[in-house]
Structure 1
């Protein structure tokens, strides 16, 4: 029978759990203290807290929480206030010497609460927060470098995105309205935020990782922003430097591979049943696109200088986001209209036409209507047709704008992707 350290009606703690949680607390304090002490030695600075101090702080939070249950709740408050006072004095001393940074002091306060969480049994949460803290603490130079590269316009766009997501989106009415009652302002807001957020992620990845790492990564990250843009830019570049046309073709195919993943992401978010029916067809397309991309990449790796820069534009184009929202509304109404008046054939034709312009809007629209308005098989066919038509646009752009040397790679690469897509269509309609 387990012996209890605490055995109350609202909280029980066995001796075994007590020692496990205590060891976790000590480990957390050791890791944070190790990072802080190493940082102080590297920067040749003095710090009020190192390994031992952080272990003591975490254990203090652990013991204070235990005393909350064994003695009285106010004990925890007194210990916490005393800890804050000591940390505040330490900061005042270091600040008076010209060091106004408070990273170590705030880390110590977080360590105290991590000790409390560990005592209460939130081990996974404590470790997750510890990892996050360690990553932030050890990324000082990298974070400064990133901040130094962010322009004022990019900062304002990031703020606009946060405002739209946190202050505007929650207040949009969540009710169906408009033709066929398929327009829901809240859902449209979510669609715009999700697509804008994915584009923003791609923008940041290209800015900080992509262009400096070569054509392949730029194509991969650019596929999150616009695979059509990547196709156009790289096709034009292939005429300027025909010797590395294969590399640019690889970047174009990489962007198209990400487009396939992006389509499946939207389907998975908005309709799980439709996603399950499309896993195999899109899995075949993904294997074909990724496989030929990897084959071309491995076959044409060289040390030649590659121009992987692309015109990024703005991280958050509000006008573009609003246009996408209007496009999504138009497409979802069009799908409902064609289904009502022309049946399955109308949906497939309108999906194919819409896919020529934008695959995201038609994918999300069909996913939202599947089950209520559109049958599963019809929806799967519509999404595949839209994807094929959108891929056909990029294929045409690459052939028209690309160099003669690039065309053979485009024909082979996209030829394989189209064959995989046709196989997927056959599976969906089996």
Structure 2
């Protein structure tokens, strides 16, 4: 990248951040702002010039340039503190220091990182009201859960070794802890989504949220309630229950695609070819049923909730995954590839996530991408087929037939894709 382009990018980042800052403080009295759009553009340009001087002449020129601009920003903020205002925020001063730093890193050879960071900074600054309202809605339990999840993902995970160890080299500590992070993250996301939308949005939204944690639990609970509605149940209630089952059915294979991208990215293409069409069809069906269903479902969502941070259940889930991996490796060693395929498929009957994680840990040198994609598909097929049978049994044949349509659709499409690829 040429020096002229670097200076243009650095100035552009300053303009982007300054645009938000200038609009935010547009009603301030004359001279009351620390910096506006012009000042931020100049700060970005100054950081870019400091970076060019550091690379062309000496790093000390960059240090002196950034230090000088930083002192100016701090002194301006200090003078602003003496103004007789009830509230003076340090945000503009911090944004100014960040703008100088971003101009510097663009000029020394990191333009992509500088642009991404500048856009992110502008987005965060523009979301002041939303973030403050969100913060006011948090409870002590929410803050504790967020801190715990941060410790799991940002502190513990990077420290764990990323290599195979133990019997049959079946255990990768980082991968197993990633399971804990993934499960708690799903629970955390579902909790926050329920806080955002609330039960007033109806049973359909609650079912979709619950399916991010356990689509099986959601489906079986709705099927049981569908049978309870019986012949005397309101048509709107039945339609809403069926729409909830459709939403949970669409979410499950969608969730498995995300999980596959995390634990077995090398097989994502093969897996998506077999599962992707079913995801699209189930999503369209769920949307169509939801549109026809009641708009104001007053019923409570399925009982799948919720501690915002389900740590010990996640650890138990990771232990189960480790046991399945070990058993699969033993079966491979004793009976060959077909034995492991049976184990993975059978596990999908009761926990499709565990089966996919276990399949993703199979040795790649023995299972090619195409074969691994096929094995990953088996637990999804088994889980949908099992739920199809249980919905018909729990809801009754008459009520269950309409509710089981999305399950039948997904099962037939995935089964057909498997047969075609064999």
Equivalent residue, structure 2, for 1:56: 42
Deviates more, 1:143-152 or 1:66-75: 66-75
Equivalent residue, structure 2, for 1:37: 22
Q: Does 1:304 align with 2:290?
A: no
User: C-alpha displacement at 1:420, in angstroms?
Assistant: 0.9
Out of 210, 226, 233, the position equivalent to 1:222 is 210
Contact preservation (8 Å) 2:267, 2:372: yes
Partner of 2:418, secondary structure, is helix
* TM-score in terms of structure 2 length: 0.85
Q: Does 1:75 align with 2:66?
A: no
User: C-alpha displacement at 1:132, in angstroms?
Assistant: 0.6
Equivalent residue, structure 2, for 1:318: 311
Contact preservation (8 Å) 1:370, 1:376: no
Equivalent residue, structure 1, for 2:180: 192
Q: Does 1:282 align with 2:268?
A: no
Equivalent residue, structure 2, for 1:391: 384
Contact preservation (8 Å) 1:228, 1:394: yes
Contact preservation (8 Å) 2:51, 2:107: yes
Partner of 2:404, secondary structure, is helix
Distance of 1:205 and 1:326 partners within structure 2: 27
Contact preservation (8 Å) 2:55, 2:108: no
User: C-alpha displacement at 1:324, in angstroms?
Assistant: 0.6
Out of 387, 394, 416, the position equivalent to 1:423 is 416
Equivalent residue, structure 2, for 1:5: none
Equivalent residue, structure 2, for 1:410: 403
Q: 1:318 to 1:71 in 2, by over 3 A?
A: closer
Partner of 1:263, secondary structure, is helix
Equivalent residue, structure 2, for 1:154: 142
Distance of 2:158 and 2:110 partners within structure 1: 30
User: C-alpha displacement at 1:358, in angstroms?
Assistant: 0.9
Unaligned stretches of 5+ residues in structure 2: none
Out of 226, 238, 250, the position equivalent to 1:245 is 238
User: C-alpha displacement at 1:317, in angstroms?
Assistant: 1.1
User: C-alpha displacement at 1:42, in angstroms?
Assistant: 5.9
| Number of aligned residue pairs | 413
Equivalent residue, structure 1, for 2:72: 86
Out of 112, 133, 138, the position equivalent to 1:145 is 133
Contact preservation (8 Å) 1:169, 1:189: yes
Equivalent residue, structure 2, for 1:7: none
Partner of 1:338, secondary structure, is helix
Distance of 2:18 and 2:266 partners within structure 1: 48
Contact preservation (8 Å) 2:200, 2:298: no
Equivalent residue, structure 1, for 2:285: 292
Partner of 2:349, secondary structure, is helix
Deviates more, 1:252-261 or 1:101-110: 252-261
Q: For each residue in 1:182-209, what CA deviation from the matched residue of structure 2 results, as whole angstroms up to 9, or x when unmatched?
A: 1233331223223333432333233324
The alignment's C-alpha RMSD in Å is 3.2
Distance of 2:80 and 2:398 partners within structure 1: 64
* TM-score in terms of structure 1 length: 0.83
Partner of 2:49, secondary structure, is helix
Deviates more, 1:34-43 or 1:129-138: 34-43
Deviates more, 1:60-69 or 1:251-260: 60-69
Q: For each residue in 1:354-405, what CA deviation from the matched residue of structure 2 results, as whole angstroms up to 9, or x when unmatched?
A: 2122111111112211534557676555433321232234335544555988
Distance of 1:316 and 1:339 partners within structure 2: 36
Contact preservation (8 Å) 2:270, 2:373: yes
Unaligned stretches of 5+ residues in structure 1: 1-11
